[in-house]
Structure formats: structure tokens, C-alpha cells
Amino acid sequence: MEHENVIEFLGQVPLLQRLPSSSHRKIADVVEVKHYESGEYVARDGEPVAGLCFIWDGQAEVSDPSNADDGNRLFLKKYDYFGHGSTGSTHQVNVVALSTLTCLILPNKYRCLLQPKSIWNADETPENFSLVEHILHLEPLDVNIFRGFTPPDAPAFKQVFGGQFIGQALAAASKTVDCFKRLHSLHATFILRGDNNVPIIYQVDRVRDGNNFATRTVEAKQHGSVIFTLIASFQKEQLGFEHQTASVPLVPSPETLLSMEELQERHMTDPRLPMEYRIRVASKKFVPWPIEIRFCEKYSTREESKPSFNYWFRARGKLSDDPALHRCVVAYASDLIFASVSLNPHRKGIIASALSLDHSMWFHRPMKADDWLLYVIESPTAYGGRGFVTGRMYNRKGELVVSLTQECRIRKVKDLQEPPKSKL
């Protein structure tokens, strides 16, 4: 039995899909292979549970000795499992092979491999994870249900950040497919505002599992209502035709650009800026973003400018190696500044707001989210209170790794300098 085949098999077992991809390799190293003939007992009622048993090939029947009703018969097939009790427990049913049966047994002494401290990393402790990895960590409640949180040290908004919805929902979807399939597209719809103080429940529907593609839909719920939906498609990596006509724009390298912290320091000390503005900047507490950003050009929310913008970004800190995590981090970061570019030509004399309505992404090539990526944003049109933006992300080699679109609600909040009101 080939080791890689065992890893791929384990990745198809729903119970194991929520584990870090590295855990599948560790489990593959220690599972034992057992064969049974048709009619042979695989497990007997009252016998100790020796380990967690996965059906590799064949079919088995589960029967409850205390209830002989044929209507309660249960059949097990490939990728099904039993014996998921605690160490020292006994079987409560009989399991009998209905055909030649091959099983993989994870002995009880290795059950710790089923309980990593993170869905992304089986080796490190959470204290060593970056902030964005903390944000994208979900608590598995069932094979298709996950719970997400807004950590207290995450950037504060009046509502849940749209990128958090996208990243966490994608994390939930990613943890229901095998690790050999990679996300290639997602389409998200924002329905209601999210509450930062309440956990978010992510319910995944396994729409399709094919040999090369898998499809998942995710509903995010708070207070009993669906507030966000996502559909994601995953593909097994394969060779194919390649071309790229999109060219990366000429921009300064990220190492030559100021960080957000350095920009704030400059705004507080620049004598050319009004004192009132400098005092206002200094009075605001600066909370470092989980994503490090370097603007390629001047950006202002109070001045008119062209409907386009470029910036470099990467995760703060080192991320775990799980490729699904890096896609989730890019999805999280993709909602930063994106919608607001559609407001650039309309900012003169007003304060305006942009609210994401829907969001689509296509992942063309692998990427590392803790290395610099260039985000190129354009807004070709706005109409009817809605702005439309497109985006492209390039790696340092100039390869197009992600394409994006988003529609958003845009509106004027108030005039920048309202005339004084009469007191009469």
C-alpha cells in the first residue's frame, strides 16, 4: 500500500479533513492495515475499542444486538469509520464484513493526532501564531459545522470586517475537502452586518465531490439568521496549458515604501500639515493590522483622485505551511481598501462610505501570503449607488496569482465642511 495513496485516502475521510494537512502524513505513518473475509467479525459488542477504524475497501454491516429490527441496519463503505470513542471504551455494536474488507486502524495510543491545537498547525502552540492565523482559526463543532470568533486584539470595527467573513467561511469550506484539492474560485454575498461580540456559526454543505473538483457552499449565521454566504470550488492540482497577457505595473518595491506606522509618524510630525489634523492623528490609537500594507502612491479618503490604486501587502509574522491557510489569508486581505477605490473620483468636499455587497475571486497560481503580493485595483464604473471594482494580485516574480471583482454600495455620509446652523 503506497504511502501517498494512504495520505490521499485519509484526506477523503470527513472526520480527518478538519485536521492540519501535516496530520494526515503523521497518521499515515502509524495506521495498521487489517484484512477481513466476508462474514468475519470486525468488532464485537462489549469488546475493547483497539483504535479508530477506517474502511479502505469493501463493505461492512453494523448491527445492534439489543435490537434485531432490520430497519435499524447500518452499512459502512469506503471512507466510513467507527470506534471513535474514548480510550478504554468498548464497542456497543457488532461490525461484520459483508465482503472482503480492508481497514486502516489508528491505534488508541495515537489518538492525540486527532486533537491538534489548531486546524492549521499540528506542531506549534497557538501562542506562536500570527494574529491573522488566530483570526482564521475555527472551532470544529461537527464535520460540517464550525465556530468562528473576532479576537479581542483584532482591529475593531462597528461590524465584522468583510474580509473576516470571507476568510473564515473559506477556512470552513477548506476543512471539508481533502488536502490535495486547492481552492480555485469563490463567490461571496454579504447579507447582514455581523456582530463583533457574538460567535459566528459556519454551516458547510458538501455540494459535490468529484475526482478532480469539489464544490462547497457555506452559510454564516448569527442570532439565528444567515448573514453571509459563500460558494467555493476546489480542484486537484494538475498540469495544463499556460499563458499570461496581464503585465504587472511599474511600482516601487515594498522595501522602499513606508509602512503604515511610519506614515502615521510622518503625519504627526509633518509641519506642512494643519496642526488640527496632526493632533487628530496623534489622538487616535494605532492598532497594527494583521496584514502589513505598503502604499505605492498617495492615498487619501478626503481628496479626489483617479479610480485606481496599487499597494503591496503580506501577513504580519510567519504563517503555518498549510496551503489552504495562505489562500484564506489572501481572501481575508482582499477586502482591504478594495471597495473604497470606487469612491476616489467622488471624494471632493464629502465624507463617503463603501459597503461590500458581493465579492468574487479566482486563484490562478500558488502563492505565499507571508511574502509580498502586489494588489492592483481599478474601478471601471459606478452607477445607481453601487460601485464596481476589479483587482489583480501579482507575486514578486510578476506572475498573476489572483483575479478579483466586487460590487459595493457607495453613498455620501455628509459634507466635509457643513455650514453653521442658525440657533434661532
Question: According to the model, what pLDDT value does residue 424 have?
Answer: 46
- pLDDT reported for residue 289: 85
Give residue 46's pLDDT. Answer: 84
74-76, strands of its sheet edge to edge: 41-43, 94-97, 60-63, 74-76
Catalytic residue, candidates 17, 21, 342, 406: 406
Is there a catalytic annotation at residue 203? no
* Cα Rg, the chain, nearest whole Å: 26
Report pLDDT for 117: 87
Each residue's pLDDT tens digit in the chain (424 positions)? 788 899 999 999 999 999 998 899 999 999 999 999 999 999 888 888 889 999 999 999 998 776 656 556 789 999 999 887 655 577 788 899 999 999 999 999 999 999 898 999 988 877 789 999 999 999 999 999 999 999 988 876 789 999 999 999 999 999 999 989 999 999 999 999 999 999 999 999 999 999 999 999 999 999 999 999 999 999 999 999 999 999 999 999 999 998 877 776 765 666 666 666 666 656 666 667 899 999 999 887 778 889 999 999 999 999 999 999 999 999 999 999 999 999 999 988 777 889 999 999 999 999 999 999 999 999 999 999 999 999 999 999 999 999 999 999 998 887 766 554 544 4
- Per-residue confidence (pLDDT) for residue 270, from 0 to 100: 61
Question: So what's the pLDDT on residue 253?
Answer: 96
Q: Which residue is catalytic, options 335, 340, 370, 379?
A: 335
CA distances from 132 to 33, 37, 174 (A): 39, 50, 16
DSSP letter at 90 equals B
Sheet containing 400-415: give its strands across: 139-142, 145-148, 200-209, 213-222, 225-236, 181-190, 350-363, 400-415, 386-394, 373-383, 308-315, 291-295
Distance CA 369, CA 371 (A): 5
pTM above 0.75, yes or no: yes
Query: Quick count: other Cβ atoms within 10 Å of Cβ 34?
Result: 15
Q: What is the pLDDT of residue 422?
A: 47
Give the chain's end-to-end CA distance (angstroms, integer): 89
Q: Which of 178, 356, 370, 379 is catalytic?
A: 356
Q: Are strands 225-236 and 181-190 parallel, antiparallel or unpaired?
A: antiparallel
Residue 22 annotated among the catalytic residues of the structure: no
DSSP 168-187: HHHHHHHTTS-TTEEEEEEE
Q: What is the pLDDT of residue 412?
A: 85
